[in-house]
Amino acid sequence: MDTLSIDKLTTGFYYTISFDHPSEFDITSLKNFFYGEGILINNSFGKPVALTADAYANKLKAQVADHTLKHYFQREIFAKTEVFGKIAQRVSTYEYTFADNRAINMPRGVNYIQYLKVDGKWKITSMVWQDENEHHQIPAEYL
């Protein structure tokens, strides 16, 4: 099972959206992680928010430019990947912070990511995530 390439792709995605200072923020490579337009869906709020990879990158750029987003760090703390031929899916538990330091108990969530192998390379086709809250706790098997 070819999960090492998927591990690297996923780590690269989280690394690309993370930064300690606005001058370090460079989201130009985000599109390279995705097949086609890609789709990212945040289901942490009342209604799902769906964006293409380009729209997601542009939204982050705008938040950095207007200083509403000064720091962001996200990393994977658990992963389970399933592969069948040239398709894969991953449960990716993450933690994140908007602060300039890494807190001990950062907020967490679960990201379901789908992948497609094209020309020998894995690409993300879609991802949907939800942050943990008092009504939806992350199950023990995802930690």
| CATH code of residue 47 | 3.10.450.50
Q: How high is the pLDDT of residue 25?
A: 80
Average pLDDT of span 130-141: 96
- Residues 66-75: pLDDT tens digits? 989 888 999 9
For residue 111, what are the domain limits? 4-142
Domain count within the chain = 1
Those residues whose C-beta lies under 8 Å from the C-beta of residue 35, and which sit 6 or more positions away, are 116, 118, 123, 124, 125
Average pLDDT of span 15-44: 91
Band of the pLDDT at 115, cuts 50, 70, 90?
very high
CA distances from 7 to 48, 84, 126, 136 (A): 26, 16, 16, 26
One-letter identity of residue 116:
L
Q: How high is the pLDDT of residue 1?
A: 62
How crowded is residue 126: how many other Cβ atoms within 10 Å of its Cβ? 20
Rounded CA-CA distance 129/14 in Å is 13
- Residues 82-107: pLDDT tens digits? 999 999 999 999 999 987 766 678 99
Q: How high is the pLDDT of residue 103?
A: 67
In terms of C-beta distances under 8 Å and separation of at least 24 residues, what long-range contacts does 99-103 make, across chains too? Answer: 99/71, 100/20, 100/70, 100/71, 102/73
Bridge partner residues of 19 (DSSP): 72
CA distances from 64 to 33, 39, 71 (A): 21, 21, 9
Q: How high is the pLDDT of residue 53?
A: 96
